[in-house]
Amino acid sequence: MTLLGVLALGTAACSIGAGSVAATVGDTEITAAEVDETYARRAEAPPVASELATSGSDETDPNLQASVLTTLIRTDLLEQAAEERGIEVTDEQRSEERAAIVEQAGGEEALQEVLTQSNVSDEELQDNLTDQAIQSQISDSLAEEVTDEEVQAAYEQDPQGQYGEKVEVRHILTENEEQANEAIDRIEDGEDFSEVAQDMSTDPGSAEQGGELGPVSKGMTVEEFDEAAFSADVGELVGPVETDFGFHVLEVTDEVAATELSEVEGEIREMLAQSKFTQYITDFASGLEIEVDPAYGSWDPQQLAVVPPAPSEAPSAPQLPPGVSEPPLPDLSELPDAGSEAPSEVPSS
């Protein structure tokens, strides 16, 4: 979990009560005016302004309203946690956080474009940098508590199959055994595997890629496919293999050795530290009395988020038009990498 989340975009909210309290976090109050102010600024962001101009609607969305309040509550939680741990953020630390953001964004100009598109003020950016610095200091402290035994256990358990041996595999999925045998015959008669996959495979995720599934870890696919893939030699045509998905013809094109612990120890420690941070901030929040005005929804202590009211319970404030989605501005500590692609669908277990 990334605590700070996304700076929510919204439209100018109709105040539920300028002097009313939207939420309390321990002894701290978050006013409706603060929520309204964030909405008002975000309403001028070009993506949202364009959507509103197209729809002609001036209504707010309870989901986005809850998202804004969630961000304010989480920020307050961080500030109170920092006070408890004696953390004071310096200008130098904020500068370090900003430098990291600039690098992740691809340069100062790219960052400014993101901030402009989302209508983020200098004050908001500074507040976010403070929050990031607090989170970094708490995480660094908790990282010191990660033991070698915990790292070793996480490496061996490897629930997502990141570190074990893998095979590069491509397959052709057919509805019946006869079609699978036809695919085998065509390949053995000299046709290219990828061309046969594009012509015959019923797996839309991989067919367009010539049947390529990419690196597959043990246990990542259903048992029958897994056994066939990891017992096959490189270049061997295997099949038909029957699974709940149909009949597969597969070929292992390469083998990928397991990753040594020494290569990923830092990554694992960071993951475990983040897990400890999540548990810490969840436990810290549970020790505070957090109350949310029902007009905004209810507080979920596990997700550390405001759950918006059901449609029939939503306040009669203006609503965002259909089609206005979550904002393009990510958590400033975690700008997205360009060029990443989701893997093709794999027959999973």
The answer, yes or no, to whether residue 105 has pLDDT greater than 70, is: yes
Stretch 24-41: mean pLDDT, rounded? Answer: 87
Peptide bond into 328 cis (omega under 30): no
CA 267/CA 190 separation, integer angstroms: 45
pLDDT of residue 176: 92
Confidence of residue 247 (pLDDT cuts 50, 70, 90): very high
Token pair of 47, please? 């993506």
The answer, yes or no, to whether residue 15 has pLDDT greater than 70, is: no
Transcribe 257-309 into DSSP letters. PPPPHHHHHHHHHHHHHHHHHHHHHHHHHHTS-EEE-TTT-EEETTTTEEEPP
The answer, yes or no, to whether residue 278 has pLDDT greater than 70, is: yes
pLDDT of residue 160: 74
Q: Write phi, then psi, for 181 (nearest 5 degrees).
A: -65, -35
Q: What is the mean pLDDT of the chain?
A: 79
CA 59/CA 311 separation, integer angstroms: 14
CA 158/CA 170 separation, integer angstroms: 24
The helix (run of H) or strand (run of E) holding residue 149 is helix 148-157
- In 3-state terms, what secondary structure has residue 80? helix
What CATH architecture is 166-256?
Roll (3.10)
pLDDT per residue as tens digits for the range 283-329: 999 999 999 999 889 999 988 999 988 765 544 433 333 333 333 33
The answer as to CATH 3.40.50.2000 being correct for domain 21-146+264-313 is: no
CA 218/CA 204 separation, integer angstroms: 23
Transcribe 2-44 into DSSP letters. -SS-------PPPPS-TT-EEEEETTEEEEHHHHHHHHHHHHT
Please, which residues have CB within 8 angstroms of residue 46's CB and are 6 or more apart in sequence? Answer: 117, 119
Range with lowest mean pLDDT among 8-22, 220-234, 242-256 = 8-22
Confidence of residue 59 (pLDDT cuts 50, 70, 90): low
Percent share of the chain, pLDDT over 70 = 79
Confidence of residue 39 (pLDDT cuts 50, 70, 90): confident
Q: Give burial (CB, 10 Å; 0-12/13-18/19+) of 233.
A: exposed
Token pair of 187, please? 């390949």
Determine the angle formed by the axes of helices 261-286 and 62-84, rounding to 10 degrees: 100
Confidence of residue 330 (pLDDT cuts 50, 70, 90): very low
pLDDT of residue 239: 82
Confidence of residue 185 (pLDDT cuts 50, 70, 90): very high
Domain boundaries, the chain: 21-146+264-313, 166-256
Are 5 and 74 contacting, i.e. CB atoms less than 8 angstroms apart? yes
